[in-house]
């Protein structure tokens, strides 16, 4: 881009040094006098009524400050014992019944962790088991046991305002999209393809598990230090839950050790707040890794997808998507909606029918997970794209390129797409993997194959980011923003944007960490939205400051503000660097003193058009899109079923890259994460009981699992209203990894895997089936 000083440069991350040297503050490092530690007793039943709790022995243990039950919470003045971003369905502690194995039942706060855990072993709870439901397809049937008797919408977010109080069903949210005449197209089709795909519940696995510290300050204000991706939301939720006015709640978030969606909305904060309000002591609760498994998961999803082909083109697609949201809806309805409407893919399809159901079961609650449900729907539609292409004898790359939407064409929702580099992403992926190079004939037991996958995610719309920029008289600036730095590099990106706009050096910008006493509202740090939304907010705030500076300079130098530019820590007349003033000179001129500041606020608030609840049609369903493509080459050991990923190229249209290295890191990091999810990650449940709930048995990808050749490719299709043309990159690399690998496996062996993860046993079974061997059931 022309004439930019620091935007577009791969400057080093602001948080690198403090993290590498171990100096970065995390919630787990904060010590407070008299601080209590927490342990939580969890339900051993998937669904049961609590008939008795005896906490007397535990309460009598030396060092125990409080043993708290759900009934105790419900008795607190002004409290709503239930919370949640879509429905207020999740109790702070189980009140009358438990809804999954791991549901918190009793909390102990004690002087140290061991005493708290010792006390738990003294609590007695009696349960009366209730019928439970674990299979999402069973849970949607009317005769299935109900997880919740009634649904209470939360009304916390504008985009969820349409969520309804359904009743007598486990379906807590149903999204519908209808365009064209699907039945007719299927009747007229040359061929119809029908497949069912599944992907399992999985863990986010941030290095830092959830941790929250709450204390009352000298004014009895609620102070919350928490590892959260949504400080603004946490404040609102605590205000609503405990009837505390917002100015009496202060939520602060230091660096957090990864989030990936696990740390969105409220998690430990309501519980720790209740403990702190009752004990009037600082209280910290830090989850163990084992508890992390019982707190939040990636949605298990079953997708039934049916596609009509006429004259080699796709004429209709029908998708039924079932989201197992577990015992509490969490953000499942938003995922069912936002991912649901993309379930037919980034393709030109005249007739589309989508039903997306968010369904309660007696499993661990499922929530946001890097990609917000989109990887699960792409797993279905893009695996099927490949199945169809190979079945009708089309080249898989060409078969995608042909119907891939062009700039200005209509998405299935009726929204016209903009800044939509899907074709470019597919082409780059194909080029990187040398798609058109002829494949050698293979023999033996190690077969190689190549696969391409493509897909798109839409950014959450509407959402809001506010920022304040404060310029100091020495030419430095402070930025107040509630975007959480969790490793994604937003601090650095925001610093680059502000430095660029104010014409100062990157290291002259300080980003203030989220603190609801001072940093303005931000919807969430998630969904690849910060660079665009917060980036625009900080940029607009900086522009306002610049205008104020220009005003002073224009008056002083008798120049027109339009002729002024900022650069090198000065404001000067374009083309005449010597005719200008330093920032300090401007402050002196304006205030007659150098201790002063100039502040400006700005809010970025993209809006969405109304979406018809019956047809899913909307003039504008989203502010922008993230096109993604992945190319993979695999080697399949046909004797063991083991899949080795030899090459992986992660391609994403990020808009203009504010920091190219960061974009590359995001594409790679997301791909690594999804490599494990594709090949072996899965939370395995037996009647609601998690079987592999620790890192001894649940595996994530390690350095030894990395492909031999692994490269990110950044496609930059600028967005007209993005800051300097930027969109975002946090999830793009996650979207298309799984189908790319499955497609490569089919290319190598001819077998198709429809259920994630693609374990060696699944591949071997498929190979044996292909050979016509009789197989025992597993």
Partner 1 sequence: MTIRSFDLLQPRSLAEASDLLLKHRDEARPIAGGTTLVILMKQRAVHYPYLVDLQSIPGLNRIAKEVDGIRIGALVTHRTVELSRLVRNSFPVVAEAFSTIGNVRVRETASVGGNLAHADYRLDPPPALLLLKSEVTLFGPGGSRVIPLKDFFTGMYETALEAGEILVDVKIPNMPTGSKAVYLRHSALSANDWPCLGVAALVSKENGRVRELRLALSGLAATPVSVDGLEFVRDCSFDDSVLDRILGIVDEQIAPFYDLRGSEWYKRRMARVFVRRAIAQLESQA
Q: Counting contacts by CB under 8 A, is residue 776 touching partner 1?
A: yes
Which residue number, 478 or 699, has a Cβ lying nearer to partner 1?
699
Binding of residue 772 to partner 1 (CB under 8 A): no
DSSP 410: B
- Contacts of residue 590, defined as CB under 8 A and 6 or more positions apart, other chains included, come to 552, 596, 598
Q: Which stretch binds partner 1 (CB under 8 A): 126-134, 222-230, 496-504, 753-761?
A: 753-761
Smallest separation, CB 700 to partner 1 (Å):
7
Sorted by sequence, the CB contacts under 8 Å of residue 450 that are 6+ apart come out as: 433, 435, 439, 631, 632, 633, 634, 744, 747
Smallest distance, partner 1 to C-beta of residue 138, A: 23
Nearer to partner 1, 565 or 700 (CB): 700
Q: One symbol per residue from 660 to 679: x for binding partner 1 (CB under 8 A), - otherwise; what is it?
A: ----------------x--x
Asked whether position 576 contacts partner 1 by CB under 8 A, the answer is no
**547 near partner 1, rule: CB under 8 A:** no
In whole angstroms, the minimum distance from the beta carbon of 446 to partner 1 comes to 13
Question: Contact between 775 and partner 1 (CB under 8 A)?
Answer: yes
Residue 121 is a binding residue for partner 1 (CB under 8 A): yes
Q: Pick the closer one to partner 1 by CB: 23 or 704.
A: 704
> Contact between 760 and partner 1 (CB under 8 A)?
yes
635: enclosing H helix or E strand: strand 625-637
What is d(CA 535, CA 522) in angstroms, rounded to the nearest whole number? 12
b/e sequence 532-554, b meaning 16+ C-beta within 10 Å:
bbbbbbbbbbbebbbeebbebbb
Interface with partner 1, residue 769, by CB under 8 A? no
Longest Cα–Cα distance of the chain, Å, equals 90
Note the helical H segments in 352-436: 374-391, 396-401, 422-432
Q: What's the rounded Cα separation, in Å, for the pair 493 and 771?
A: 54
Distances (CA, A) of 110 to 113, 280, 281: 7, 13, 10
For position 684 contacting partner 1 by CB under 8 A, the verdict is: yes
Which residues, numbered 604-663, are part of the site for partner 1 (CB under 8 A)? 639-642
End-to-end CA distance of the chain: 57
Nearer to partner 1 by C-beta: 39 or 602?
A: 39
| Residue of 117, 135, 585, 601 interacting with partner 1 (CB under 8 A) | 117
Nearer to partner 1, 450 or 762 (CB): 762
- How far apart are alpha carbons 593 and 643 in whole angstroms? 68
CA angle 605, 611, 612 (to 5 degrees): 165
CB-based burial label for 179 (10 Å; 0-12, 13-18, 19+): buried
User: Would you count residue 774 as binding partner 1 (CB under 8 A)?
Assistant: no
Among 9, 279, 288, 476, binds partner 1 (CB under 8 A): 288
User: Is residue 627 a contact partner of residue 454, using CB atoms and an 8 Å limit?
Assistant: yes
Name the pairing type of β-strands 249-252 and 222-226: parallel
The answer to whether 747 contacts partner 1 (rule: CB under 8 A) is: no
User: Can you tell me the distance from the alpha carbon of 107 to that of 138, in angstroms, rounded to the nearest whole number?
Assistant: 33
Cβ contacts of 352 within 8 Å, gap of 6 or more: 177, 178, 179, 180, 182, 316, 317, 318, 319, 344, 412
User: For 732, which DSSP code?
Assistant: G
Q: Does 691 bind partner 1 (CB under 8 A)?
A: yes
Q: Give the range of 267-275, 303-311, 340-348, 694-702 binding partner 1 by CB under 8 A.
A: 694-702
If the CB atoms of residues 573 and 695 are measured against partner 1, the closer one turns out to be 695
Rounded to a whole number of angstroms, the minimum distance from the CB of residue 647 to partner 1 is 17
Nearer to partner 1, 331 or 677 (CB): 677
- Applying CB under 8 A, which of residues 360, 680, 685, 724 lies at the interface with partner 1? 680
Among residues 239, 279, 582, 759, which is the contact residue for partner 1, using CB under 8 A? 759
Name the minimum Å distance from CB 776 to partner 1: 5
Q: Rounded to 5 degrees, what are φ and ψ at 546?
A: -60, -40
Out of 404, 468, 701, 713, which residue is the one contacting partner 1 (CB under 8 A)?
A: 701
Site size toward partner 1, by CB under 8 A: 34
Letters for 705-734 (x = contact with partner 1 by CB under 8 A, - = none) are x-----------------------------
Q: Which residues bind partner 1 (CB under 8 A)?
A: 113-114, 117-118, 121, 288, 290, 639-642, 676, 679-680, 684, 691-692, 694, 696-697, 699-702, 704-705, 759-761, 764-765, 775-776, 778
């Amino acid at each position: 881009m022309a004439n930019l000083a620091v935007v577009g440069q791969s400057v080093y991350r602001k948080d690198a040094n403090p993290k590498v040297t171990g100096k970065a503050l995390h919630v787990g490092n904060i010590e407070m006098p008299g601080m209590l530690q927490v342990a939580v007793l969890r339900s051993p039943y998937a669904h049961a009524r609590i008939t008795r709790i005896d906490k007397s022995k535990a309460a009598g243990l030396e060092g125990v400050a409080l043993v708290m039950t759900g009934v105790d919470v419900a008795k607190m003045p002004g409290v709503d014992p239930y919370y949640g971003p879509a429905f207020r369905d999740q109790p702070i502690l189980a009140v009358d019944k438990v809804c999954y194995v791991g549901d918190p039942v009793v909390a102990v706060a004690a002087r140290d962790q061991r005493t708290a855990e010792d006390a738990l072993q003294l609590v007695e709870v009696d349960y009366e088991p209730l019928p439970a439901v674990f299979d999402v397809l069973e849970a949607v049937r009317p005769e299935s046991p109900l997880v919740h008797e009634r649904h209470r919408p939360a009304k916390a977010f504008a985009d969820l305002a349409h969520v309804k109080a359904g009743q007598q069903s486990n379906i807590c949210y149903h999204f519908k999209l209808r365009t064209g005449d699907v039945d007719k197209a299927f009747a007229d089709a040359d061929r119809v393809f029908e497949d069912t795909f599944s992907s399992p519940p999985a863990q986010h696995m941030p290095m830092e598990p959830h941790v929250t510290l709450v204390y009352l300050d000298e004014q009895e204000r609620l102070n919350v230090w928490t590892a959260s991706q949504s400080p603004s939301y946490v404040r609102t939720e605590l205000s609503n839950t405990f009837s505390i006015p917002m100015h009496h709640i202060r939520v602060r978030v230091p660096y957090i050790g990864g989030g990936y969606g696990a740390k969105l909305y409220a998690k430990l904060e309501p519980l720790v707040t209740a403990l702190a309000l009752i004990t009037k002591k600082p209280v910290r609760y830090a989850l163990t890794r084992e508890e992390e498994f019982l707190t939040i998961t990636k949605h298990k999803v079953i997708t039934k997808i049916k596609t009509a082909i006429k004259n080699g083109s796709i004429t209709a697609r029908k998708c039924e998507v079932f989201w197992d949201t577990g015992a509490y809806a969490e953000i499942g309805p938003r995922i069912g909606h936002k991912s649901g409407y993309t379930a037919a893919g980034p393709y030109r399809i005249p007739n589309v029918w989508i039903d997306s159901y968010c369904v309660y079961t007696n499993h661990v609650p499922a929530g946001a997970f890097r990609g917000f449900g989109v990887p699960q729907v792409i797993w279905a539609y893009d695996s099927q794209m490949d199945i169809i292409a190979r079945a009708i004898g089309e080249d898989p790359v060409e078969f995608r390129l042909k119907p891939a939407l062009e700039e200005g064409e209509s998405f299935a929702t009726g929204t016209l797409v903009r800044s939509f580099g899907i074709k470019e992403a597919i082409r780059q992926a194909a080029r990187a993997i040398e798609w058109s190079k002829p494949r050698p004939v293979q023999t033996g037991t190690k077969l190689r194959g190549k696969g391409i996958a493509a897909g798109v995610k839409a950014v959450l719309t509407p959402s809001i980011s506010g920022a304040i920029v404060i310029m100091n008289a020495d030419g430095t600036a402070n930025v107040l923003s509630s975007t959480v730095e969790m490793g994604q590099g937003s601090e650095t990106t925001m610093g680059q944007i502000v430095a660029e706009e104010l014409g100062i050096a990157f290291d002259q910008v300080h980003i203030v960490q989220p603190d609801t006493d001072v940093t303005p509202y931000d919807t969430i740090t998630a969904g690849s939205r910060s660079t665009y939304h917060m980036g625009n907010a900080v940029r607009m705030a900086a522009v306002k400051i610049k205008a104020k500076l220009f005003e002073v300079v224009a008056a002083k130098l008798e120049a027109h503000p339009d002729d002024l530019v900022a650069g090198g820590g000065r404001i000067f007349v374009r083309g005449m660097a010597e005719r200008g003033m330093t920032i300090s000179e401007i402050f002196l001129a304006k205030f007659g003193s150098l201790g002063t500041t100039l502040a400006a606020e700005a809010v970025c608030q993209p809006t969405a058009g109304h979406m018809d609840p019956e047809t899913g049609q909307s003039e504008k369903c989203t502010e922008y899109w993230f096109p993604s493509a992945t190319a993979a080459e695999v080697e399949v050991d046909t004797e063991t079923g083991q899949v080795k990923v030899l090459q992986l190229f992660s391609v994403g249209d990020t808009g203009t890259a504010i920091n190219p290295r960061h974009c590359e890191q995001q594409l790679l990091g997301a791909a690594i994460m999804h490599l494990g999810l594709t090949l072996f990650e899965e939370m395995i449940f037996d009647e609601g009981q998690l079987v592999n709930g620790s890192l001894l048995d649940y595996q994530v990808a390690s350095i030894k699992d990395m492909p031999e050749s692994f490269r990110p490719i950044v496609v930059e299709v600028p967005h007209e209203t993005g800051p300097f043309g930027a969109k975002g990159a946090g999830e793009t690399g996650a979207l298309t990894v799984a189908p790319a690998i499955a497609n490569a496996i089919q290319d190598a062996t001819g077998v198709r895997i429809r259920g994630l993860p693609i374990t060696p046993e699944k591949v071997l079974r498929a190979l044996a089936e292909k050979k016509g061997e009789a197989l025992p059931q597993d």
